[in-house]
Amino acid sequence: MARFGRAFKPRQVFSRPETEARDTASGPVDRERFDRLMLPHMGAAFSFARYLTRDTGAAEDIVQEAFLRSFRAIQSCRGNEKAWLFAIVRNCFHDWVRTHGHFRMQSELIDAQDHSDGPEAILERQDIAHSVRETVEALPEPFRETIVLRELEEMTYREIADLTHVPIGTVMSRLARARQMLALLILARDEGGCSV
Amino acid sequence: MTACPERTLSLHALADGELDGIHSAAVEAHLRGCPACAGEFDRIVAVRAVLSNDDLRHGIPVDLYSRIVALVDAEINLMSLNTGVSPSRPIWSWIGGGAVGALAASLALLIATPQVATPGLEDELIASHVRSLLAAHLVDVKTSNRHIVKPWFNGRIDFAPPVVDLATSGFPLVGGRLDYIGGKVIPALVYQHRLHRMNLFIRPAPDSAVLKARFDRRDGYGLMHWRMDGLDYWIVSDVEQVDFETFQTEFVHHSRQ
């Protein structure tokens, strides 16, 4: 009895010992937990990776790797699954930057060229969501990551601080700076729109 | 009319709902008496409103979900191969009768195969190729999608082999496999050419020299080796030599793109 009590202790965190009690093989249980806890966050994870890399193909590779890692480690996920998964996505992203340094520099160069026609030119485009997205993507790091986690993923200051390994005060000043930059770009467009 | 700099972070925290009741009340009281801060607060709220659009999230590519599920399926298959055999079940019932026959046949073939003086790496590669045809171990991850095969190797081997699909050149990718050769776990990419299978083995090279492709024939099987970018490559198959050469050229070309 004591042996079983210990074996199932991790699952009691999710208070479902009855449905899983008879399942002694680790595979199906892992799969069920993975499907239930991780798959719902795939959209958010991809969007986050896409904002970090500004490249669809790279974001796909990173998210695939992150989900595989999350599956292998699913037993160590304790509450706040999304923040746990995002931490893995972030690690995969940093691994990717290390191995694709030259690619990263290329994309920065392309971005620099985009900037040469100015934020106004970007904002003149029809699709508002599209242009706001581009404006957010044009933000330098770490302001881009912080604003995406706060506004798009609605994480708390505490969650962002834990995820990015900085004090809450740093999260707050990054957020303020990011919004200051965005206000200049986004609200300038709105004022231009009022005159029409 | 500039906002009070020492209040800036409080304004953001208020807009984010991160202040407790007492601090919220204090900041709100300040806003009523300070038009500059009130204006700054309105700007923060306006920026937040623009960013609250759900469309700002990037949608996931159509096949990403199914690719990730396929990756996890392959992972589970491998886990059950490595650890799924419970002690109470004999291994033969798990493998199945057909596989036992195939295994026996492959052993017989290996014994019958005339051995060269020292069973070197080339012989091990050919033996692995033969085993992969006979036993049910052609591929661990069966897919023509290189975006599944490549990450599947991650974490299993300590280098990243290039994975390309050469279907357009007549060599579609069948899948990937791990084999134990020369005392090391090394990846094999499995390709098909008409009715023939080709195993491409890749492992880190001992030096960074570039070696041109060299073709050899042993025991009726063709073997081609080359070295580039710090990796050693071997193809083993029973296709014609010209097919080896075409495959090698195409692989090098596509893996460098």
What pLDDT band is residue B137 in, cutting at 50, 70 and 90?
A: low
B-facing residues of A in 107-126 (CB < 8 A) are none
pLDDT of residue B54: 75
Q: Give the pLDDT mean for A134-153.
A: 92
What pLDDT band is residue B244 in, cutting at 50, 70 and 90?
A: very high
Could you give the CA distance from residue B89 to residue B98 in angstroms, rounded to a whole number?
17
Task: Tell me if chain A has a CB within 8 Å of the CB of B50.
Answer: yes
pLDDT of residue B130: 72
Which pTM value belongs to this model?
0.56
B-facing residues of A in 127-146 (CB < 8 A) are 128-129, 132-133, 136
According to DSSP, the residues that pair with B192 across neighbouring strands are B197
ipTM, two decimals, is: 0.71
The answer on pLDDT for A20 being more than 50 is no
What pLDDT band is residue B94 in, cutting at 50, 70 and 90?
A: very low
Q: Cα B1 from chain centroid?
A: 58
pLDDT of residue A119: 54
Best of B19, B47, B81, B85 to disrupt the A interface (most A CBs within 10 Å) is B47
pLDDT of residue B41: 94
Per-residue pLDDT tens digits for B61-86: 878 888 888 888 887 877 666 554 43
pLDDT of residue A47: 94
**Residue B216, H or E segment:** strand B211-218
Highest-pLDDT range among A116-125, B35-44, B59-68, B83-92: B35-44
What integer best gives the mean pLDDT of chain B? 79
At residue B186, the 3 state secondary structure works out as strand
Could you give the CA distance from residue B16 to residue A82 in angstroms, rounded to a whole number?
20
The answer on pLDDT for B40 being more than 90 is yes
Q: Beta strand B141-142 with B231-237: parallel, antiparallel or unpaired?
A: unpaired
pLDDT of residue B42: 93
